[in-house]
Every structure is written in structure tokens, then in C-alpha cells.
């Protein structure tokens, strides 16, 4: 535990939540990807099903952890955080926000009367992606607040909207 505490600049016990929650989310992601590959390769309902899932899942987990640690190193100077564990919280917020906004865009497109089979794919996906954008913006600040990173995400949001030419919204 002391090694984790030192590596992630953890000063309070409640901050251990973020590294452990991050590990659980990466494990869940690796398992989900392994199961999708299993079905893609038609290996489900075979003797190899669980062996494949476990082996491929752990390989994907290892690759994802290496990738995220590389990202932490690259973004350490770019994102101003007081303690390293906050980087994990920020990554978790981005992951949750992206997933939920993508899922919520489906019911919104149906609510406004667009279904994938009734309109052109170009129209459907363009509108769905355009719907994801405002949902994502609101959820990003909300989940940032929920995970104690409101100021980071509020500044991130203002910077992004200014780059898109929508900076007048904050004047």
C-alpha cells in the first residue's frame, strides 16, 4: 500500500478509491473487449471460451495499463493537478462521460423521431453525433464535480469552447 501511496501522491485514505476504481474499470474494459473478440471469432460456447476470455482479457488489461501509464506521463506537464491520483480521477471522468453520452444519444434520437432504419445513415449518424456533443459537455462538468475535479473540467470546457469559436458563452 505504501508503494501505491507514494507513486500516486496519496495523502488521505479516501484517495485510494481512485487507483482501485481505475484498476476495476480497466479490468472490466479488458473483459468486455475479450468477450467481444470471442463472439467475433465464434469461439463462444466452446471449450476454449473461458480460457480465451481470461488469457486475452489479461493481455488486453496489461496493454491498457501500459497505455494509460504512458498517457499519464505524457499529460503530467500539460494538465495542472496537485497530486498524481487526480490524473486517475480525470481519466475516469472522461471514460464515464464518453460512455454515458454515447448511450444517451440513442434515446434522444428516437425521442426526436429518428430511427436508424427510417432515415439515411448519413443523416442519422450526423444528428446522433451532433446530439452527443452537448450531452457530453454537460456530463463532463457534472462528473468532474462528482469526482472532485470541477475546476479542472470547467477550465477544460471553457478552453475547448473558445477554440471552437464559442468563447462568447463565457463573457
pLDDT of residue 20: 92
pLDDT the model gives residue 90: 93
Q: How many CA atoms lie within 13 A of 160 on its CB side?
A: 12
In 3D space, the residue among 161, 143, 163 whose CA is nearest the CA of residue 153 turns out to be 143
How high is the mean pLDDT of the chain?
Answer: 88
Residues of the chain scoring pLDDT < 70: 170-171
32 backbone dihedrals φ, ψ, rounded to 5°: -65, -45
What predicted TM-score, i.e. pTM, was given to this entire model? Answer: 0.81
pLDDT of residue 150: 93
How confident is the model at residue 24, as a pLDDT?
95
Question: For position 171, what pLDDT does the model report?
Answer: 63
CA distance 168 to 109: 28
CA–CA separation, 49 and 55 (whole Å):
10
Identify the pLDDT of residue 128.
86
Q: Between the CA of residue 106 and those of 1, 46, 77, 98, what are the distances in Å?
A: 42, 33, 37, 13
Predicted local confidence at residue 4, as pLDDT: 85
Amino acid at each position: 500500500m505504501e508503494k501505491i501511496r507514494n507513486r500516486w501522491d496519496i495523502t488521505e485514505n479516501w484517495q485510494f478509491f481512485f487507483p482501485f476504481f481505475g484498476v476495476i474499470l480497466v479490468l472490466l474494459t479488458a473483459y468486455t473487449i475479450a468477450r467481444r473478440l470471442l463472439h467475433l471469432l465464434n469461439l463462444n460456447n466452446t471449450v476454449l471460451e473461458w480460457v480465451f476470455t481470461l488469457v486475452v482479457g489479461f493481455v488486453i488489461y496489461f496493454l491498457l495499463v501500459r497505455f494509460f501509464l504512458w498517457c499519464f506521463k505524457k499529460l503530467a506537464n500539460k494538465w495542472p493537478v496537485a497530486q498524481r491520483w487526480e490524473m486517475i480521477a480525470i481519466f475516469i471522468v472522461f471514460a464515464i462521460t464518453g460512455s454515458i453520452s454515447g448511450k444517451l444519444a440513442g434515446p434522444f434520437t428516437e425521442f426526436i423521431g429518428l430511427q436508424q432504419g427510417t432515415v439515411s445513415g448519413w443523416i442519422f449518424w450526423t444528428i446522433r453525433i451532433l446530439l452527443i456533443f452537448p450531452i457530453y459537455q454537460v456530463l463532463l462538468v457534472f462528473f468532474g464535480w462528482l469526482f472532485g475535479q470541477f475546476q479542472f473540467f470547467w477550465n477544460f470546457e471553457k478552453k475547448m469552447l473558445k477554440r471552437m469559436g464559442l468563447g462568447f458563452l463565457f463573457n
